[in-house]
């Protein structure tokens, strides 16, 4: 992430309303933003230093088992490949229902698939509480006509999706057309009806922490139920500093409005240790109220296998060979 420019980094903290920067360091400044949206400056060094501190904790034994189970219960088990098939989605759903043989292992929170697989996933998951999430709005680029993106959203909800993961138009955002991005999120929220809306910022394309903060604030004000880091299609995907900026935006939004918004870290999270670091970040930034699958998710295609490996190791003291776990 680039450092914020000198002009936008006053280093002063505000303690008034949304954006109060008592965490990693944020301050208000005047600038481009939809009406009523205070632009925020993020202190990049403070964010990175604080994020690094979350990675220095270690856990053992039963605390580790609890962390592995918690992480498992918060996974959006994902397949978003051009070569996906109904068979692959079915195997993914079966794994979501029963990640491993140990009955102490929880189910994952959701599967995340392309719209055309939603009905099939719903069928396989029938009777369970595993949610079906689907990417929509011309994922991953978001570059299509708004009426096409809204129609895709409505059709995906009609097919049975409980949750819609939309992408913002990063081109419009980076060009400064925040009002357009705001209006498109609001329209997508309306198209979702009762389905929950996760708004993907694609932080790897936003260049600065200031932009991540502004996009987070904008998405929440436009009606996002969750804000999500990444599509998983470009690098960097989710990072700890970016998640910290988003978590602080959520915390400040909650303080200012009383509205709780969830966070989904997605892309590049493959190890139990990484998952544990994210849980620490959420606990210490947002508190226990967010440490549930209703408010925190990890979007991942292969993390579940590492959680299973570590789980097995707690019981046996050795690693099960990865060949015993499916790749779905």
Interacting residues toward ligand G3H by CB under 6 A:
78, 80, 112, 232, 237, 266-268, 299-302
CB 62 → ligand G3H: shortest distance, Å? 27
Q: Does residue 283 carry a catalytic annotation?
A: no
Cβ closest to ligand G3H, residue 262 vs residue 299 = 299
Cβ closest to ligand G3H, residue 216 vs residue 229 = 229
Q: Does residue 165 carry a catalytic annotation?
A: yes
3-state secondary structure 246-262: HHHHHHHHHHHHCCCCE
Of the candidates 43, 76, 165, 217, the residue annotated as catalytic is 165
Cβ closest to ligand G3H, residue 105 vs residue 266 = 266
Cβ closest to ligand G3H, residue 99 vs residue 232 = 232
Cβ closest to ligand G3H, residue 116 vs residue 302 = 302
In 3D, which of 213, 209, 214 has the Cα closest to residue 176? 214
Cβ-proximal residue to ligand G3H, closest one: 232
Of the candidates 95, 189, 198, 264, the residue annotated as catalytic is 264
CB 304 → ligand G3H: shortest distance, Å? 10
3-state secondary structure 71-136: HHHCEEEECCCCCCCHHHHHHHHHHHHCCCCCCCCCCCCEEEECHHHHHHHHHHHCCCCCEEEEEC
Token readout for 135 is 């990417």
Q: How far apart are CA 291 and CA 226, in angstroms?
A: 14
Beta strands in the chain, from DSSP E residues, in sequence order = 26-29, 39-42, 75-78, 110-113, 131-135, 163-167, 196-200, 226-228, 262-266, 296-300
Q: Does residue 264 carry a catalytic annotation?
A: yes
CB 314 → ligand G3H: shortest distance, Å? 23
Of the candidates 228, 252, 306, 328, the residue annotated as catalytic is 228
CB 285 → ligand G3H: shortest distance, Å? 21
Q: Determine the Cα angle at 163 with ends 85 and 131, to 5°.
A: 70
Q: What is the C-alpha R_g of the chain?
A: 19
CB 78 → ligand G3H: shortest distance, Å? 4
Enzyme catalytic residues:
165, 228, 264
């Amino acid at each position: 992430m680039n450092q914020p420019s000198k002009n936008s980094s006053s280093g002063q903290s505000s303690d008034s309303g949304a954006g109060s920067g008592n965490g990693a360091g944020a301050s208000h400044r005047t600038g481009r933003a939809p009406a009523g949206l205070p632009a925020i400056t993020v202190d990049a060094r403070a964010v990175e230093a604080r994020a690094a501190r979350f990675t220095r904790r270690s856990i053992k034994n039963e605390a580790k088992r609890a962390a592995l189970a918690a992480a498992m219960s918060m996974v959006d088990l994902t397949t978003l490949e051009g070569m996906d098939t109904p068979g692959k989605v079915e195997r993914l759903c079966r794994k979501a229902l029963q990640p491993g043989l140990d009955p102490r292992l929880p189910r994952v929170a959701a599967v995340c698939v392309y719209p055309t697989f939603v009905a099939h996933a719903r069928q396989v998951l029938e009777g369970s509480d595993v949610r079906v999430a689907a990417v929509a709005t011309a994922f991953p680029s978001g570059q299509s006509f708004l009426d096409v993106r809204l129609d895709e959203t409505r059709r995906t909800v009609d097919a049975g999706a409980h949750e819609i993961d939309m992408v913002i138009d990063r081109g419009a955002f980076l060009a400064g057309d925040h009002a357009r991005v705001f209006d498109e999120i609001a329209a997508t929220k309306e198209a979702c009806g009762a389905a929950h809306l996760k708004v993907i910022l694609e932080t790897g394309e936003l260049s600065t922490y200031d932009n991540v903060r502004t996009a987070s604030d904008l998405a929440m004000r436009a009606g996002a139920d969750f804000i999500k880091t990444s599509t998983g299609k470009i690098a960097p995907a989710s990072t700890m500093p970016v998640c910290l900026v988003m978590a602080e935006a959520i915390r400040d939004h909650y303080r200012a409005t009383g509205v709780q918004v969830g966070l989904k870290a997605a892309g590049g999270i493959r190890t139990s240790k990484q998952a544990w670091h994210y849980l620490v970040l959420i606990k210490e930034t947002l508190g226990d109220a967010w440490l549930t699958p209703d408010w925190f998710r990890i979007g991942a295609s292969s993390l579940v296998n590492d959680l299973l490996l570590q789980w097995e190791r707690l019981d046996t003291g050795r690693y099960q060979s990865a060949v015993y776990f499916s790749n779905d």
